[in-house]
């Protein structure tokens, strides 16, 4: 791919990143309960945009045709195409979530954030990985990178990927633990629900002698307990 074609390919991805970033900003104003996830996604897209701008300048330079990695970045199924595909998917879902047909009637209330936190985390990993590859490749073509420096860059990249995997595993463990707690709680509630206290109550009522306990039920302690807010009544004895 010549420099002109490569530049056009990069510009197309840049334009898509701007559209996604602007949509995220609109959602940030309209959807208050998802602002943390929206900001994470918009920051990641903004970071990708900065890297793409650098590559666009590189592709537009007179020496673009001599840059070996530029062809690798813009080849089919390469990092640039993967970024464009991911951004197009984001834009399609964001366009769907803003409820265009209801905007005239409900305004910003028609906007609904179309992603869960897990969706956002997965997207951050995908975009972040391609951004790091794009940044690494562009650096290799614009300046000499010593073997040690190259290893440092790769180390940072894999450290970031490892951190993302660890966070995913930790979240999975939390989800499993929460599911176990919910299952145990359901068992307890089911056990309690199956217990019918009315049987013992009715049997006790049949055995009760008339006027038994009236000295207590009509006593001063009971009256004070019923009329005093947040009061306690301590019952003690053999039965």
d(Cα 63, Cα 86) in Å, to the nearest integer? 29
pLDDT of residue 66: 47
Euclidean distance between CA atoms 14 and 8, whole angstroms: 10
What confidence score (pLDDT) does residue 102 get?
46
How far apart, in whole angstroms, are the C-alpha atoms of residue 60 and residue 10? 10
The predicted structure's pLDDT at residue 38: 92
Distance (Å, whole) CA 25 – CA 145: 37
- All structural domains of the chain with their residue ranges: 3-143
Instruction: Specify the pLDDT at position 159.
Output: 64
Global pTM reads: 0.52
| Whether 110 contacts 39, CB under 8 Å | no
The pLDDT score that the predictor gives to residue 4 is: 62
Identify the CA nearest to 38 among candidates 124, 153, 167.
124
pLDDT at site 20: 93
Per-residue pLDDT of the chain (239 residues; tens, 9 = 90+): 555 666 778 888 899 999 999 999 988 888 888 899 999 999 999 999 998 888 887 777 665 444 556 666 777 777 788 888 899 999 998 887 665 544 444 455 567 898 999 999 988 988 888 888 888 776 655 544 455 555 555 566 566 656 666 666 677 677 777 777 777 777 777 776 666 777 887 888 888 788 888 888 888 888 888 888 888 888 776 65
Cβ atoms of 88 and 80 closer than 8 Å: no
Q: What are phi and psi of 99, to 5 degrees?
A: 55, 55
Q: What is d(CA 6, CA 58) in angstroms, rounded to the nearest whole number?
A: 10
Handedness of CA 219, 221, 225, 228 (dihedral sign): positive
Q: Given this model, what pLDDT does residue 19 score?
A: 93
10 Å Cβ neighbour count for 39? 13
């Amino acid at each position: 791919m010549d420099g002109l074609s490569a530049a056009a390919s990069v510009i197309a991805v840049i334009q898509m990143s701007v559209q996604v970033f602007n949509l995220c900003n609109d959602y940030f104003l309209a959807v208050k309960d998802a602002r943390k996830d929206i900001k994470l996604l918009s920051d990641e897209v903004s970071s990708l945009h900065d890297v793409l701008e650098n590559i666009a300048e590189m592709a537009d330079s007179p020496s673009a045709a001599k840059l070996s990695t530029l062809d690798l970045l813009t080849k089919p199924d390469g990092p640039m195409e993967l970024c464009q595909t991911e951004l197009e998917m984001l834009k399609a879902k964001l366009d769907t979530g803003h409820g265009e047909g209801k905007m005239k009637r409900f305004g910003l209330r028609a906007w609904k954030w179309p992603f869960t936190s897990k969706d956002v985390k997965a997207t951050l990993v995908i975009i972040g990985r391609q951004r790091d590859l794009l940044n690494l490749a562009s650096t290799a073509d614009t300046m000499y990178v010593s073997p040690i420096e190259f290893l440092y860059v790769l180390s940072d990249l894999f450290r970031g990927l490892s951190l993302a995997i660890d966070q995913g595993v930790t979240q999975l463990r939390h989800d499993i633990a929460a599911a176990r707690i919910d299952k145990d709680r359901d068992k307890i509630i089911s056990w309690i629900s199956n217990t019918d206290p009315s049987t013992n109550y009715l049997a006790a009522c049949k055995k009760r002698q008339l006027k038994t306990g009236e000295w207590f039920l009509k006593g001063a302690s009971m009256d004070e307990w019923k009329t005093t807010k947040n009061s306690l009544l301590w019952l003690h004895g053999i039965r």
